A and B are shown apart, each in its own frame.
Chain A
């Protein structure tokens, strides 16, 4: 039987939209999930959900202001620092929410969670996860989380927008592809621990990873509209062009991620059609079945995906998604609930 997964994309403060939607899905519609995956703010949300901390998550986002998440640094310090902003308050808040009992629940893998991050040393996409025997194929890397510190580190790393927020050393040692255990005398022993940043650099909405784990019912919350909105203005300032360019890149990554699920569905439908056509044309059904279920056949054992995308119809914020304003957060939470109600 297929699994039900919740996927939440990145989006900084726009994560409030996802929290509102999830609150409605869980508390009003009484939906439950077998699998979670999130990027950036989506990693914070799905990590807390896997820990059974929805009330704490709602309270945190509903009362968020910038200084409950980030700290500003003086200009003189930025040049010698690894980021423009500090993420100490966010880490401290996560440590408050994810206590040892909550971490143990997540790490048990009862409801697995996949948190995306990008390795600064290798530039590889990583899934920090809590699923034993997870199906993760190269070139993407996977690492099974085993401690509370790693879990909090992975959630924070996934949300750490590079340059704006500090990279995070999730693992005490350099990542070893054969982990566990780190073999004695490994050529990677003594290498500096890897630093991880926002997974949204490479994957905005981690749909593929939940499909690979057998999810067939997927609820995806995407925090930017998937339709291009024309901005009727002439961009004359660097500070206007830069965020617009980042928006375009983000929208492109988001569209590609959703397209993975759509194309998987198209191919699965095509494979099913070929099978039925062959049988209708007189081919031996047993032979057809054997051909399509033999080891190594693409999409073997995969079922059609029921993908429900909850996405805002218009952009949620005009400006910086690392500015957290409590009234804007509430507005976006309300919009998320409203959108979830309309879609579901």
Chain B
């Protein structure tokens, strides 16, 4: 009896530590797997892997935990841009704050509590980032929402506009890593609840103008429903858009002297009543050379502002088939992506919508008209439970067909109590473009990366690590931003072009870049806007599949000039100048090497 007791004790002494070790290792593996640090499985054609510990560690704060007011669920955007012209993409993250309810004389009033403010991160050696917010002079912008990047003074360095709940801000890049806030001086100090914004040169005068989508008119002194939360199935939630007055969007014309003129009324953009604007993208839908503006409106018909080429716009979304769902319903338009998906040369539009609403895919039928092909494309019902936000067409696997990255997350923290199938945190999705306007949802065995359920909002695309593939920067409601590196195996060859405008705006925003490689014609519009609240890199990036050269590249500049360049060897970024010259140097020379597996 005693011997067996000793034996048992001895066995325990060995067994327990071994068991503990096994458990610890297993837990560590599970946690690492959740973090997405497991390399992608070979069967996953498109995979975005989370890069941790890169210095993007500032917390995003957007709303109080209960999020009982609609603006608390909007989240914030991000930008990928090279603000110091060192050839590496830097990062700007917007930030919001929290709310408090004050009750005075029986009335409930909402108080905005400032959050940590926007963060500017400079990319340093090794693909890591350092917080330069303070040294750059970025002092904040109240309760922030979106970000738009553009070189508004054509001085060769990038400026940015911050939309906000409160006063919008404009940061002018003074060079040497310093910015100066000058919204008031520039005439962009609108107060309200602005969401996405985008720079465009609508009058083609060579200066970037600005379109700002506005969401709602929210009176902090008189919140909706007498300041009480709305209810759904006995769950307290924020009141929906219908409980608020929609706000009208704004169009500003750049005078070219550092100031802007509010041309909303004279351009015709005020003629259409506000409609809960959230996402905005600029593209030339009818290929007349003049940029048009598409706006995703929450729960309402989307807008398509057709540029009438005389400084004015007319709203034509309904007539052109891009306003509503197939059964005539306004959907909860959030984010936007635009690109020539089916290779016919005309821009197609994707709109992310609410959960239990199909996302919308409006395919151009030419001449500025669209046909709702949400279901046949495979983009409509595939992620039916998701509430979509930022979206971006990009050729992730570089096979010559545009893919779609889409991020999701619900607006109500208690969404699962209302509808058990709809969680608050939701995975992002990648749809692989199959050509001809068809997509397939990428479902990988390997979890992690974009597929981790988070409360995603904005997404910006750019080649962050300089390997030639487009990566993603994603914002979430609470927590640090997420950098997702394109780790798709078996990527095709690639080529990238940066534009240098002369009579056009400096970055050539609004240009159309056409290439032909491997018998495939491809087009990219040069733009930084789209997605949701965010601003992507302005690089025209093409996947080339097996082709290692591009014979001819045509650029149609905003000025109307048509330039032809080439031939080019794949695997580099080239600068194309409006004066007809091209520079063979890669704009990101340090690590730009074609890493295609061919």
Asked if A and B are interacting partners, one says no
Chain A residues proximal to chain B, CB less than 8 Å? none
